[in-house]
Structure 1
Amino acid sequence: MKNRTSRLAPLFVSALLVLASPFVSANGNTDQFRVFHFNISPNGYPPYLIVDGNEPSGIMWDVVATICQRLGYGVKPEQIPRKRVDQMLLEGYIDGTPRAREWVENPERFLFTDPVVDIEEVFFVPGSAPFSYSSPEDLISKTIVTHLGYRYPPLEPYFEDGKIRRFDVSRDRDMFTFVLHGERFDAAVADKLVGKWILRNEGLQKQFSITSESISNYGFRLMLRKDWQAFANDFNAELARMKANGELDAILANYR
């Protein structure tokens, strides 16, 4: 046992030295090792964030991991429930989370990067049920399945006065289950790419139709604390390069 311990000791010391070694940032400066604590949420947000496997994946994860590596950051995934994310970000427990600015109450408290991808929110309708959408007035007296904690700015005034009813669920996959099997639900509202991903993986493509009109198009970004302006500037510069040289398109192609 003594000999085994003596052999392992140098390896342990070497590992500590690697972790403590300087990181070289994208601009050539040498800084101590830095970690970007990135919220991926407990259930993810496929295909933008996927947490089913041993390691996170998804569009946003791939982009953030690529850019952070170039900026001299390791990325540590954090699984924070939606209702706690904003406060934990402000208090410094996490460093960033993916978010559309329009989904945030009091967005002026935060800093946002340039959009990584666009979110297009549409309605998913079960079977051949009669349903059309061109404006929120088309939804009056209907019940829409929505994601817990999400805001839908075009619909919020109608939700508040009860003209349109919302039914919140915490998992994107469950939204489609409720709509498909619940008689009192008329449609689910979700990002088109998210919905198509779920329906394809669940074998439900033929059981839903998708409205041609969307209720919104938002930029999906990183939401940071306001003191992360330098990081946001560097992130935006690398993101622009990825868009220009085709790297971002290659990542998107992996999830379509």
Structure 2
Amino acid sequence: MSQIVRHCKPKMISACLTLSLCLQSVAGAWAESKVVNIGVGDWPPFIDEKRPHNGSIAHLISEVFAEAGYTVKYHFRPWNRAYQEAATGQRDATAVWMHEPEREKDFHYSEPVLQEEFVFFHRTDHPFDWKNLDDLAGMHLGGGFGYSYGAEFDEALKQGVFQQERVATHKQNFQRLLLSRIDLVPEEIHVGYNSLRRDLRPEQTKKITHHPKPFLKNQSYVLFPRASPESLKLMKLFNEHLRKFRKSGRYRSFFEKFEAGLYDSPK
């Protein structure tokens, strides 16, 4: 502003000040518009408020948007609240979610950003084998609030094949498993072992293993709210640069860093 005022004649200073303030306002609005506000929940190790870059997938999403000229600001909430805030247009997006048909009424889906593999965790002293979900008849399973474990799982639960008791944290699920209050914990394999390493003592961790057969192989997405007129533009830019990341090999580098433990230490 001082540069504009400095070159104004005395009689024009008022007009120059007005012009300068207008330019500042436009610049401020532009800067603000280049921030993407994304609602998320804690899902270690992929998205975690306490990890470097908020976890590997949060880092990937941030870098993809950075290539498109945007800065990402993450808003950590319980998953249900993150969903609702985004669905009503309070956020520009929410991440990451598996595909569910009922979510399409609220959101546009990006191209997939993560391949997940869900397995059943169980106690080592309680041998467990299964071929289909009917083999879980009569069992008590753990789970997390706001999570979907896939259409087939949801249908079996609805039909009463097994029971499920949901809690707020992974730690609670595995503690209940150790106490034999539940028989199985369904969880993404990396997420499950991350919780075991972080939340339990080594002697407790040794008492838990997983069945090698996944009950769900799934892709997850960034969701852009239909309530926002900017969503299609943002999603198009995100998808375009995500494809470039895949083509260049940069996409894979985030998972190599993850496998090397570079996201394990707290901020």
Task: Decide which of 199, 215, 233 is 1:230's aligned counterpart.
Answer: 233
SS class of match (2:258): coil
Task: Decide which of 63, 66, 69 is 1:69's aligned counterpart.
Answer: 66
User: Does residue 136 of structure 1 match 2:130?
Assistant: no
Amino acid in the other structure paired with 2:140 = T
Amino acid in the other structure paired with 1:241 = K
Show the counterpart of 2:257: 254
Deviation at 1:63, TM superposition (A): 1.0
In 2, Cα distance between the equivalents of 1:122 and 1:215? 6
Q: Deviations over 1:76-123 (max 9, x none)?
A: 111222222332112211111123343563434311111111111110
SS class of match (2:102): coil
Deviation at 1:254, TM superposition (A): 2.1
Amino acid in the other structure paired with 1:80 = R
* Cα 1:166/1:218, change in 2 over 3 Å: same
Matches within 5 A, 1:117-156: 117-152=114-149, 153-156=151-154
Show the counterpart of 1:48: 46
In 1, Cα distance between the equivalents of 2:93 and 2:245? 20
Counting matched residue pairs gives 229
* Cα 1:179/1:216, change in 2 over 3 Å: same
Deviation at 1:205, TM superposition (A): 4.4
In 2, Cα distance between the equivalents of 1:107 and 1:101? 11
Task: Decide which of 238, 242, 246 is 1:239's aligned counterpart.
Answer: 242
Q: Deviations over 1:191-226 (max 9, x none)?
A: 011112222334354222211111111111101113
Q: Which runs of 5 or more structure 2 residues have no equivalent in the other structure? A: 1-23, 260-267
* Cα 1:180/1:103, change in 2 over 3 Å: farther
In 1, Cα distance between the equivalents of 2:98 and 2:193? 23
In 1, Cα distance between the equivalents of 2:84 and 2:29? 31
Please tell me whether the aligned partners of residues 121 and 191 of structure 1 are also in contact (alpha carbons under 8 angstroms).
yes
Show the counterpart of 1:9: none
- Structure-1-length-normalised TM-score: 0.80
Show the counterpart of 2:17: none
Amino acid in the other structure paired with 1:128 = D
Deviation at 1:33, TM superposition (A): 4.1
Matches within 5 A, 1:1-256: 20=27, 33-41=33-41, 44-52=42-50, 56-103=53-100, 105-152=102-149, 153-181=151-179, 183-201=180-198, 202=200, 203=202, 205-226=205-226, 227=229, 228-256=231-259
Deviation at 1:58, TM superposition (A): 0.9
Show the counterpart of 1:26: none
Q: Deviations over 1:149-197 (max 9, x none)?
A: 212221222222322000101112322122112x231110000111122
In 2, Cα distance between the equivalents of 1:50 and 1:178? 23
In 1, Cα distance between the equivalents of 2:32 and 2:182? 53
* Cα 1:104/1:167, change in 2 over 3 Å: farther
Q: Which runs of 5 or more structure 1 residues have no equivalent in the other structure? A: 1-16, 24-30
Deviation at 1:74, TM superposition (A): 1.7
In 2, Cα distance between the equivalents of 1:251 and 1:127? 32
Deviation at 1:141, TM superposition (A): 0.2
- Give runs of ≥4 in structure 1 deviating > 6 Å: none
SS class of match (1:105): helix
Please tell me whether the aligned partners of residues 47 and 193 of structure 1 are also in contact (alpha carbons under 8 angstroms).
yes
- Structure-2-length-normalised TM-score: 0.77
In 2, Cα distance between the equivalents of 1:64 and 1:253? 16
Amino acid in the other structure paired with 2:154 = E
Deviation at 1:37, TM superposition (A): 0.9
